[in-house]
Each structure stands twice: as structure tokens, then as C-alpha cells.
Amino acid sequence: MPKVPRTPPLDRLDALPPDVHVLPAGTIVWRIYFRGGRHPTRWNRFRRVGPTDARFDHQLELPGEDQGRAVLYAAADPATCFAEVFQRTRLVNRRHNEPWLVGFENAVPAPLLNLTGAFTTRAGASMALMTAARSVSRNWARAFYQAYPATVGLYYPSSMHANRPAMVLTDRAEAAGVMPAHPRFHRALGDPALLSVLKNVARGIGYALQLNAASEAVRDSPGPPGALTTAPGRTAPLRLHRCGMMDPEPQAGDSAAHG
């Protein structure tokens, strides 16, 4: 039997109690989104188009139909967002398609199906669910969505960042009012104020960082306090409030995000 069967055992899931991880209200959640390109979006907008190639899209394979299903991918820390979003090229591109980093506090508790422990094995899969063919993982995401209607998303270990917590919120989270009115942190990756932070994140995960001008040349010396890597390959927590970057959402310019 494969570690992750292509077809989830729905009868087994129906009989299996879920392992639920509740994100308390006020938990800071991070994501990177894109204001430009072919599919621009906003910091709090769920993606209704799908399924795409993303691992845990739970939309059905019904092209062109509005199923009422939507997703928003996020993580417990900024570095995990970078590791996940830029994994294909391993290049943090600060300009292409206008990427922004946003941190927000969920407005209400969010019960998520916990895939970080033994539940995946009890369900008939394994931790390989995070690394198997994405089409297979999407089959399981659909099965989890059907079997556990009280959950509003998935809480899973990031295979790209040392199993740090990542999550996908579904349309149920949107309907429950999980998203706040305003974020706690909101800046474009192209903002010079983030350069030192991005330098350390990229070094910590072994990604390259795109620089756009000679004036942005990155030295090997550490950045400002609170945004340092503690040792090669290890990234210290991004204490953004100590870097003077826990600013309110910049209201001006938000209209630049269409769709």
C-alpha cells in the first residue's frame, strides 16, 4: 500500500475523529501575496479560482464553474512564507508581480485540521502527504473538507522550511470572519526598509535575493538588531517591531490591487 493513496478512504475519515489545532484569536499569521501580474489580489482576498498546482487546493476539477470554494495560504512566520512562495526558483524576487508581505491577527478562533502529527497515519496516509504528488494531496484536501465541516482549513508542516507551521484557510474561514479589518504589518518586498530583513531570510533558507541597483548591494555584515541570522543556516525570529516595521497598513496605494 502506498504511503499516500491517491484515493482517500472516505469511510475511514467519516469514522475518524479529527485532530484539531485551534489558532486563538489574535494569533499573528503571515503571507506573501502579489498585487501585480496576470492575477493580482489583495492581502485578505481568498482565491476562488482553482484548483491550481498548489498542494492543498480543495476545489473540484470543474473548470470554469464557481464552486464557492476558496483558499488562502499562510504561515506562522515570515521565513516560511518566503521558503514556500519562492521554492521553484529559490530566488526572492522583490519586484516581479509586486510581492507584498503581510502579517495579520485572526479576528476569531480558527479550528484547523492538524496534519503535523500522527493523524495523517490514522487517516490512512502519512507525513508524505506534504511531499507527495500535489494532485494526490489535493485529493486528500477535498476529502478532509468533506469529512470535517467544523474545520476551516489545514495546519501542516512546511517541507520547505524545517516543518515549520504553515496553513491553508478555506472559504469556511472567510465565512467565519477569521480575517481582520486591517493587518498589523504590510509592506512591499521592494521597500528598501525590508532589505536587511530579506537579506537575512534569504541567507537563512539558502535562497538568492534579487537586488535592483548598485545602491542596494548587500554586504556580509549583519543587518539591524532584531533581524539577524544567529548562525549560517539558522534564522532568528523576525522581531519586526524592533526594526520599526510594525506599522499600520498603508491605506494609500491599496487600490493598486485589482481583482
Nearest to 53 by CA among 65, 71, 33: 71
More confident residue, 257 or 30: 30
Q: What is the DSSP string of 18-59?
A: P-EEEE-TT-EEEEEEESSSSS---TTPPB-S---S-TT---
pLDDT on residue 1: 64
- Poorest-pLDDT segment among 60-64, 104-108, 205-209, 234-238: 234-238
pLDDT above 80: residue 248: no
| Amino acid letter for position 41 | T
Q: Where are the domains of the chain?
A: 10-249
**Which helix (H) or strand (E) segment is 198 a member of?**
helix 195-205
Q: Which residues pair with 75 in a beta bridge?
A: 30, 166
Share of the chain above pLDDT 90, in %: 78
Average pLDDT over residues 81-97: 97
